[in-house]
Structure 1
Amino acid sequence: MLLLGEEIKNINLSIVTFLQVSRLILIIIFVPLFVFSPFVGTGTTGAADLIHSSTIRWGNLFPNILLFIPGVILSIFIARKIKLPTPFLVGPIFATAIIGLFGYIGPTLPSSLLDVSQLMIGAYIGLLIDLEQIEDKFKMLTIAIASGALLLFGSWGLSLLLSYVKDISFSTSTLSLAPGGMDQMGIIAAEIHADLSIVAGYQLFRLFFIFFVVPPLLRWFVTICIKKSYGDG
Structure 2
Amino acid sequence: MQDFILTIIIAACGGFLLEQVNAPLPWTLGPIIAVSLTSMLLKRKLNWPLWLRNIALIPLGYSMGRPFTLETGQAILNQLPFMLLATCVTICAGIFSAWLMFRRTKINLTSCLLGCVPGGLSQMVILAAEMKDADLTAVTIMQTMRMLSVVFVIPFLAIHVLPSAGPSAHLMTIAHTGNLVIFALVAIAGAVIGKAVRLPTATLLGPLLATAVYIVASGHTAPVIPIHYLNVAQICVGSYIGSSIDLRKIREYNGMGPVLIGSVMLVLAVSMGMGILLSCLTPADIATTFLSTAPGGLAEMGITALVVGADSSTMTAYQLTRLLFIMLCYPYIVKQILKRQ
* TM-score (ref. length: structure 1): 0.69
Following superposition, the deviation at residue 103 of structure 1 comes to: 2.4
**Alignment match, 2:229:** 113
Q: For 1:151, what is the secondary structure of its paired residue? A: helix
- The answer as to 2:151 corresponding to 1:32 is no
Deviations 1:104-133 (A, max 9, x none): 333322222222221121111111111343
1:182–1:200 contact (8 Å) kept in structure 2:
yes
CA distance in 1 between counterparts of 2:221 and 2:257 reads 42
CA distance in 1 between counterparts of 2:125 and 2:221 reads 32
**Alignment match, 2:331:** 219
Gap runs ≥5 in structure 1: 37-41, 191-195
Within a 5 Å distance, the mapping from 1:60-209 to structure 2 comes to 60-101=175-216, 102-136=218-252, 139-166=255-282, 172-178=285-291, 179=294, 181-185=301-305, 187-188=307-308, 190=309, 199-209=311-321
CA distance in 1 between counterparts of 2:325 and 2:336 reads 17
The aligned amino acid for 2:198 is K
Following superposition, the deviation at residue 82 of structure 1 comes to: 2.5
- The answer as to 2:47 corresponding to 1:47 is no
Q: For 2:225, what is the secondary structure of its paired residue? A: coil
The aligned amino acid for 1:219 is P
Following superposition, the deviation at residue 76 of structure 1 comes to: 2.7
Q: For 2:178, what is the secondary structure of its paired residue? A: coil
Structure 1 outlier segments of 4+, above 6 Å: none
The aligned amino acid for 1:30 is L
- The answer as to 2:123 corresponding to 1:4 is yes
After superposition, the Cα gap between the structure-2 partners of 1:147 and 1:175, relative to the gap in structure 1 and judged at 3 Å, is: farther
1:18–1:129 contact (8 Å) kept in structure 2:
no
**Alignment match, 2:149:** 22
* TM-score (ref. length: structure 2): 0.50
CA distance in 2 between counterparts of 1:51 and 1:80 reads 25
CA distance in 2 between counterparts of 1:15 and 1:91 reads 28
Deviations 1:141-190 (A, max 9, x none): 43453234223322332344334445x58xx13531331614423543x4
CA distance in 2 between counterparts of 1:126 and 1:163 reads 33
After superposition, the Cα gap between the structure-2 partners of 1:77 and 1:117, relative to the gap in structure 1 and judged at 3 Å, is: closer
Q: Return 128-137 or 15-24, whichever deviates more.
A: 128-137
2:176–2:223 contact (8 Å) kept in structure 1:
yes
The aligned amino acid for 2:209 is F
Following superposition, the deviation at residue 94 of structure 1 comes to: 1.1
CA distance in 1 between counterparts of 2:188 and 2:153 reads 34
The aligned amino acid for 2:149 is S
The aligned amino acid for 2:204 is L
Gap runs ≥5 in structure 2: 1-119, 130-135
After superposition, the Cα gap between the structure-2 partners of 1:27 and 1:160, relative to the gap in structure 1 and judged at 3 Å, is: closer
Q: For 2:220, what is the secondary structure of its paired residue? A: coil
2:171–2:224 contact (8 Å) kept in structure 1:
no
How many residues are aligned here? Answer: 205
CA distance in 1 between counterparts of 2:126 and 2:220 reads 33
Following superposition, the deviation at residue 92 of structure 1 comes to: 1.5
Q: For 1:212, what is the secondary structure of its paired residue? A: helix
CA distance in 1 between counterparts of 2:257 and 2:271 reads 21
The aligned amino acid for 1:104 is H
CA distance in 2 between counterparts of 1:85 and 1:163 reads 27
1:52–1:111 contact (8 Å) kept in structure 2:
yes
After superposition, the Cα gap between the structure-2 partners of 1:147 and 1:212, relative to the gap in structure 1 and judged at 3 Å, is: same
Following superposition, the deviation at residue 25 of structure 1 comes to: 0.6
The aligned amino acid for 1:29 is F
1:177–1:202 contact (8 Å) kept in structure 2:
no
